[in-house]
Structure 1
Amino acid sequence: MKSLITLIFLTYLTKFSYCSPGDRSNYFIRCWETCTHLNCSDEYNVEFISSQQQPFYLKLLNWNCGDECKYVCMWKTVEAFHKRNWATPQFFGKWPFIRILGITEPASVLFSLLNFYAHLKLLRHFRKEVRPDSPCYWLWHVFCLVCLNAWVWSTIFHTRDTEFTELMDYSCAFSMVLMSCYLMLYRILRNVVHKFVMVIIATFFVAYFFNHVTYLSLGKFDYRYNMTVNVLVGTVTGSCWFVWCSWVRQRQWYVWKCAIFVALTGLVMLLEIIDSPPFFYLIDYHSIWHLSTSILIGLFYSFAVDDCKYLRKQEMEQFKRP
């Protein structure tokens, strides 16, 4: 697990440290300059010379004149590279994707929506199976709401990649990581420390999250810092779940679901290491990773159902004792 996290970390640093050959090529630069000169009406390359040059759905997603020129020139540059038998280049740190109805990464959008649907459906199943007076009942609801919000922003970001949608996607993804960590701490420590201590920890987590987002929103986005924090918190969370599951497995048979979920989640993170052009310029390994998380999350909710039932049964037995 440790070596896996290290590989992912190094991959992200490499991805964000090198300039992309596509947008730096003279062919792309000349194409973009010519396109904006012929089609854009202002010095910021926002407005078109003619309002009829762009379909309404592209206007709806705020594709301006300069963006359109980048998209058109990207594919012309890819074609020029291929004619010279050169590999498909990246542009601005990303592989080229075929845009569908203005959506930048269609597969990632589809699988982000699938994750949203999975959480929503599994929450409904959770509410049918677990009584509202069960321990941790509302905490699992908070976890689900945080995840639903994160997948909404993942959908928006992969639909239209801008500085704001990127910030929201990364920030909300980190909120899932933090919430998972707090959920782990609450479950393990609920009978060990006073509830007031858990409130203090929750307050610290919320404060740290807003500090994290504030830092990322100031100046240039710090990919290295964001990835470092996510990897550290994720590693601690996964490791603690593993230790706890091993400790209680004799009397809580169902914890194998949590352990396997954590193991498989770490395993599918290998998909994030693979950095290659998308299949048919539509599906990349990042989108496949999104698909895998929508499948695996069922294990975690199944663990949640069993755990809440176990905790409620445990409390009822304690209540019956004289």
Structure 2
Amino acid sequence: MKTYNWGIIGCGNVTELKSGPAYQKTNGFNLVAVMRRDAEKVKDYAHRHSVPKFYTNADELINDSEIDAVYIATPPDSHEYYALKVAKAGKICCIEKPMATSYEACVNINKAFKEKDLPLFVAYYRRSLPRFTKIKSWINDNKIGDIRHISWILNKPANSIDLSKTYNWRTDSAIAYGGYFDDLASHGLDLFTFLLGDISEANGFSINQQGLYSAMDAVTGNWIHNSGITGSGSWNFGCEKREDHVQIFGNKGKIGFSVFDENPISINSNGKIESFHIENPENIQIHHVQNIKSHLLNESLHPSTGSTATHTAWVMDRILK
């Protein structure tokens, strides 16, 4: 079996437990290099995670002849910049979500990799998590009949960073116009296209209600899937308490779950109610990374590619605009 050597650009918090170790635990993958501009922090990361090479310059990592594939885990405003360099170097790539700061940037990235026939993945890892593949199986097995509508409410109170007006790139409109919507709602909307198919129309409203930062903090949206299923969502980041509720309505029942919280998933099918608690793995991207390996070995197609993530970016753009 071929072995793939990976390098990470941007070894910040998301790579500590969620993603970085997954590349080390996947058979056939080696994590051989990491990059971060802060020399002390990248050296510390490399030593703690037993990574043999570390860089403070992304170009050196990308052009390292030992590296076959690059995982870009920087803030989204630099994704396009680094991804185009990886494509030019002729290497496999996985990009953290959201794929980029705009739909147009996603199109540019996707085009660069398609022109070189290079695999491109995006870390919408919920498409690979067992709790959501279980829901996908219910839908495929017609457990709730013909699906009519999906709705999602995600509310969160302002956190201490917001209230203190401390700088946070996630709420800087120059990096993420939609604020937490860009960071969090992208996961759910991408998941919904995985479960119910692509979206043909989408629109919405976005405003800043609290004035705590420059990005939007309240968004509502509506959409229609290609199949005719309707959808609606409300995302507010200044409410009293956290809520994360999704319901899928069919003509024979409904499915309920949370996008982020590890609550049991539930199904009401023909009057019979069942719930299942399916824990997420310690390294939440492990199934996503293992699916990358299966894709590269031509064993199965990965559910989250540059093309699927570009579609999600289009939906996000339509709702925000």
Q: Which has the higher contact order (CA 8 A, sep 6+)?
A: 1
Q: TM-score, normalised by structure 2?
A: 0.26
Could you say which structure has the higher helix fraction? 1
TM-score normalised per structure 1: 0.26
Instruction: Name the one with the larger strand percent.
Output: 2
